[in-house]
Amino acid sequence: MALTGLDIFKLLPKTNCGECKFPTCLAFAMKLAGGQAKLDDCPYVSDEARAALSEAAAPPVLGVEIGTGDAAFKTGEELVLFRHEKRFVNPTAIGILIPDSLSEDEISAKIKQASSNSWERVGQHLGVKLLAVKCESGEAAKFKAALEKSMGSGLAIMPMTEDVELMTQAVEVIGDTRPLLYCANSENLDKMGALAKEKNLPVVLKGDGLDSLAELSERAKSLGLEDIVLDPGTRNLRDTLQALIAVRRGALVGKFKPFGFPLIALPCEETDDIFFEGALAAIYIAKYADIVIVSSAEAWFNYPLQVEIQNIYTDPQKPMAVDSKIYEIGTPGPDSPFLVTTNFSLTYFIVSGEVEASKVDSWLGIVDSEGQSVLTAWAAGKFVPEAIAKFVNSSGIAEKVSHRKLIIPGYVAQISGELDEELPDWEILVGPREAADISAYLRHLTKTG
Ligand code: SF4
């Protein structure tokens, strides 16, 4: 049974030293019981207490590592049901289904497309993480050939077969890449589990509903398996959504250990309608699939899912920010315009995108505003005349440009007078309020000088 905060408190040093970043040992104990702190954060826990607390200290959803090298990723380790409670930890991994029944050329093309699905968005890398190579043919040679092709993709691999003999052969081919074995079920668990344990590989447990999943998880634990991913085995929206929520709630709220593992959903097995499949994938990403397997490797299908994942898995308490410095957009020279804005990532990428689209080579100065957008930063006193002037004076821009014209965002037009006083050598120009108007503004500016 899970320990309560008071149970944990009794085992702590009770010195309230604050080194764990909580003001008291009791506050730390309550957070530890809720899975929102790590036992290692307190340097003074005795070995006896550590042993007694190990159960409470274990994360409610264990982490599982899949793949090796650049293809490696971690899944699970979630601590909260809702992002605003703290943050989500390991972003949902998208896997692309590769049936071995496709022709060799089709398999190669799909693998190439999956691995080329890679994007930079607001300074972060987004992309597919996994190839789910499914033995649909039932033929060992075809399965092996598809797995061999997958090995050069730079992505992690999930071989899919319930046949332990075929899986054993698959492991001989790709075992060194730390594949996720899919899957062990109530019939093959002993043998599939033995293979996973012998090779120290993660394995998916596929249940037939929640009761069977819990039973399977208990059996897997008794076999000594720890690197586990759970598939409730449901294959329709209502049942899958209910199962994903119930399993994650069971792990986080009910502290039900058999459900304390990452979850996988396979919308590719729930419908033949590609648009509905996309909707299913989006729903399962939101609640609470850690791995989602889809049938399409097309960029139009995958990019929106990646953006959704990025939005959900960014830390709501940490604004996304870019470095404060002068950025060159195009190849600016001494006569090029000089604009400033804040270091909120979205602001930077929207403004720099619009400047780039204008085809007017420009200098873009990014003022440290603690990752806040223009109006928020102005209201918080971070994007104010003193801060902008300090940035301009220390940025070195005066040596890069021959003019002394500084363009500020239209939303802070009200600071132009004060900024004039802070930067007496500079002429303050008020740019457009909306980023969409920057392009026309810059083109007009360069025409009129
Ligand atoms: Fe208590 Fe340990 Fe936190 Fe210090 S670091 S306040 S002893 S829990």
Look at residue 418 and tell me if it is in a domain. yes
| Per-residue model confidence (pLDDT) at position 449 | 60
Helices (H) and strands (E) in the chain, counts: 17, 17
User: Which of 12, 21, 31, 46 is the best mutation target for the ligand 1 pocket, counting ligand atoms within 8 Å of the beta carbon and taking the most?
Assistant: 12
Partnered with residue 205 across adjacent β-strands are 184, 230
Residue 321 lies in a domain: no
Domain boundary among 292, 313, 334: 313
Q: How far is the CA of 27 from the centre of ligand 1 (A)?
A: 9
Neighbours of 299 (CB within 10 A): 14
Give the length of the chain.
449
Residue closest by Cα to atom 1 of ligand 1: 25
Q: What are phi and psi of 334, to 5 degrees?
A: -60, -25
Give the separation between CA 87 and CA 81, rounded to whole angstroms.
9
Report the residue among 36, 44, 53 best suited for mutation to probe ligand 1: largest number of ligand atoms under 8 A from its CB: 44
CA distance 369 to 389: 13
Q: Is 165 exposed, middle or buried (0-12, 13-18, 19+ CB in 10 A)?
A: exposed
pLDDT for the residue 447:
78
Q: How far is the CA of 5 from the centre of ligand 1 (A)?
A: 14
pLDDT for position 3: 72
CA distance 253 to 146: 41
Distances, alpha carbon 35 to alpha carbons 26, 52, 110, in Å: 14, 16, 40
Predicted TM-score of the model (pTM): 0.76
Looking at ligand 1, which residue's alpha carbon is closest to its atom 4?
Answer: 17
CATH of the domain at 113: 3.20.20.20
Together in a domain, 41 and 73: no
Identify the domain boundary among 268, 292, 313. Answer: 313
- Look-up of token digits 């037939």: 208
C-beta of residue 214 within 8 angstroms of C-beta of residue 186: no
Statement to judge: residues 169 and 222 lie in one domain: yes
Q: Are 192 and 203 in contact (CB under 8 A)?
A: yes
**pLDDT at position 56, please?**
63
- Verify that 11 and 129 share a domain, yes or no: no
Please give the distance, rounded to the nearest whole angstrom, from the Cα atom of residue 440 to the centre of ligand 1.
58
CA-nearest residue for atom 2, ligand 1, is 42
- Helix (H) / strand (E) element for 27: namely helix 25-33
Ligand 1: which of 8, 15, 36, 53 to mutate, most ligand atoms within 8 Å of CB?
Answer: 15
Nearest atom (ligand 1) to Cα of 15: 7
Q: What parts of the chain have a pLDDT lower than 70?
A: 1-2, 35, 55-57, 448-449
* Residue 318 in domain: no
Residues near 59 by beta carbon (within 8 Å), at least 6 away in sequence: 35, 76, 77, 79, 260
In the structure, which protein residues have their CB atom closer than 6 angstroms to any atom of ligand 1? 12-13, 15-20, 22, 25, 28, 42, 44
Domain assignment present for residue 319? The answer is: no
Q: Report the alpha-carbon distance of residue 431 to residue 379 in Å, rounded.
A: 19
Under DSSP, the state recorded for 139 is: -
Ligand 1 centre and the CA of 25: distance in Å? 5
- Looking at the fold, whether 144 and 293 belong to one and the same domain comes out as yes
- Do residues 251 and 378 share a domain? no
Residues 157 and 266 in one domain: yes
Question: Ligand 1 centroid to 19 CA: how many Å?
Answer: 6
| Residue/partner pairs of 278-285 with CB below 8 Å, 24 or more apart | 278/304, 278/305, 280/237, 280/240, 281/94, 281/305, 282/308, 283/237, 283/241, 284/240, 284/241, 284/244, 285/92, 285/309, 285/312
Q: What is the pLDDT of residue 316?
A: 80
- Tally of domains within the chain: 3
345 in the same domain as 241: no
- How many angstroms does the Cα of residue 84 sit away from the middle of ligand 1? 26
